[in-house]
Chain A
Amino acid sequence: MKIDYKSKNIAGYLAKIFLNSPLTMIMIVSILMLGFIALQIMPREEDPQIEVSGGTIMIAIPGSTPREINNVVVKPLERKLREIKGVEHIYSIAMNNVGIVNVQYFIGERREDSNLKLYDKVMQNMDSLPKGTMQPIVKPFDIDIDIPVVTVAFYPKVCQDLNSVELYKTIRNIQQDMNAIENVSKTTLKGEKKPQFNVMVDLDKLSGYHISLGQVAKSIQAISTNAPDIDTPTKTKKIVVFGVKNAIENVEDLQDLIIAQYMGSPIYLRNIAKIEYSYDIQNYQDVFIARRDSGLSTFDPHEAKKMLESHSHDIENTKNDDEEDSEHEALAPFHPKAHQQITLTVSKLKGTNSVTIAHEVIKMLQKYKERLNDQHVGFIVTRDYGKRADEAVNELVFHLLVTIGIISLILIPFLGWRESLVVSIAVPMILAATLFIAFMTDQTINRITLFAFLLSIGLIVDDAIIVIENIHRRLHLKETEGQDFDVLICEATDEIGPSTNIATIAIILTMVPMAFVGGMMGQFMKPIPLNVPVALAVSLMVAYIFTPYLAKKLIKHPGSH
Chain B
Amino acid sequence: MLEKLIYNIISSKKKKRMVVAIVLLSLMGSIAMIPTKLVLAKMLPGKSANTFTVYIDTATNSSIEQTKEVSMCVVNEFKKESAVTDMEIFLGQGAPLDYAGLVKGSAFKQMQNQAEIVINLTDKHEREEPSFSMIHRLRHKIQKDCGWLVAGTSIKFIEMPSGPPTLATLVVNIFGNNHGLIRYTAEKVAKVMKKTDGLVDVDIMQDDFYTRYEVVPDKEKIIRSGLSVKQVNDILYMAFKGVIVATKNSRNQQDQIPIFVRLSQETRSVDDDSKNDLVWKLSTLKLMNPRGMMIPLKELVEFKAVPSTPAIFRKDLRNMSTITAECDLVSQVYPLLEARDKMIKALSDEFNVTKVPGMSTYMFDLNLKHKQTGEEILLRFDGEMKVSLDTFRDLGGAFIAALVLMFLLMVVYYKSFALSGIVLAGSFLSIIGVLVGHFITDQVALLLTGINFFLTATSLIGFISLMGISARSSLLLIDFSRSLIASGIEKKHAIAIATSTRAKPIVMTTVAIILGSALLATDPIFGGLGIALIFGSIAATLVSLFFVPVLMDNTSALCPETSVDESACVGGGIEHIDEEEIEKIAPEIEVE
Contact = CB atoms under 8 A, between A and B. Distances in A.
Interface of A: 47, 50, 52, 56, 63, 65-67, 69-70, 74-75, 78-79, 82, 89-96, 100, 141, 143, 146-148, 151, 153, 169, 172, 176, 188, 190-191, 194-204, 206-207, 210, 212-217, 220-221, 224-226, 246, 248-249, 254, 273-274, 280-282, 284-292, 322-323, 326-327, 330-331, 334, 338, 341, 343, 345, 380, 382-383, 388, 399, 402-403, 406-407, 410-411, 414-415, 451, 454-455, 457-459, 461-462, 465-466, 469, 496, 498-499, 502-514, 516-525, 528, 532
A398 B242 CA distance: 59
B85 interface: yes
Contact of B309 (A66, A199, A207, A524): A66
Interface in B237-282: 238-239, 241-243, 245-250, 253-255, 257-268
A462 B512 contact: yes
Interface string B211-250: 0000000000000000000010111001101110111111
Given A90-B316, A465-B512, A502-B475, A338 B89 contact: yes
B82 A331 contact: yes
Contact of B118 (A292, A323, A382, A510): A382
A465 B255 CA distance: 68
Interface stretch (B106-114, B191-199, B330-338, B340-348): B106-114
Given A214-B287, A382-B120, A521-B457, A532 B313 contact: no
Interface stretch (B90-98, B144-152, B369-377): B90-98
Contact of A520 (B120, B164, B263, B504): B164
Given A91-B314, A521-B457, A148 B96 contact: yes
A284 B468 CA distance: 60
B91 A516 contact: no
Given A197-B260, A288-B91, A96 B231 contact: no
B493 interface: no
Given A176-B254, A455-B465, A213 B235 contact: yes
A196 B253 CA distance: 12
Nearest to A98: B311
Given A289-B87, A507-B465, A462 B255 contact: no
B254 to A, nearest CB: 5
Contacts of A74: 312, 314
Interface in B458-491: 461-462, 464-465, 467-469, 471-472, 475-476, 479
B5 interface: no
Interface in B301-324: 309-317
A282 B262 contact: yes
Nearest to B266: A202
Given A197-B259, A248-B259, A213 B465 contact: no
Contacts of B72: 338
A513 B401 contact: yes
27 contacts: A56-B108, A66-B312, A92-B315, A146-B102, A201-B263, A203-B267, A204-B284, A210-B286, A212-B288, A213-B235, A213-B239, A224-B259, A248-B246, A254-B259, A285-B90, A292-B85, A341-B88, A343-B88, A407-B515, A414-B508, A466-B509, A507-B465, A509-B405, A510-B406, A516-B401, A519-B390, A524-B163
Contacts of B242: 281-282
A134 to B, nearest CB: 16
B89 A221 contact: no
Greatest chain A CB density within 10 A among B287, B294, B516 is at B516
Given A147-B102, A507-B472, A199 B259 contact: yes
B516 A458 contact: yes
A196 B310 contact: no
B570 interface: no
A368 B204 CA distance: 46
Contacts of B390: 518-519, 521
B99 interface: yes
B12 interface: no
A94 B472 contact: no
Interface in B54-89: 64, 68, 72, 75, 78-79, 82-89
Contacts of A341: 88
Contacts of A224: 246-248, 259
Given A202-B263, A224-B248, A288-B88, A282 B469 contact: no
B128 to A, nearest CB: 8
Contact of A516 (B90, B398, B472): B398
Nearest to A383: B96
Contacts of A288: 88-89, 91
B357 interface: no
B473 to A, nearest CB: 9
B465 A532 contact: yes
A65 B312 CA distance: 10
A323 B504 CA distance: 43
Given A200-B263, A414-B508, A519 B239 contact: no
Contacts of B316: 89-90
Given A338-B72, A505-B409, A274 B264 contact: yes
A45 to B, nearest CB: 11
Nearest to B115: A286
Given A202-B266, A517-B395, A528-B461, 7 more contacts: A248-B246, A284-B91, A451-B520, A465-B508, A502-B409, A507-B472, A517-B391
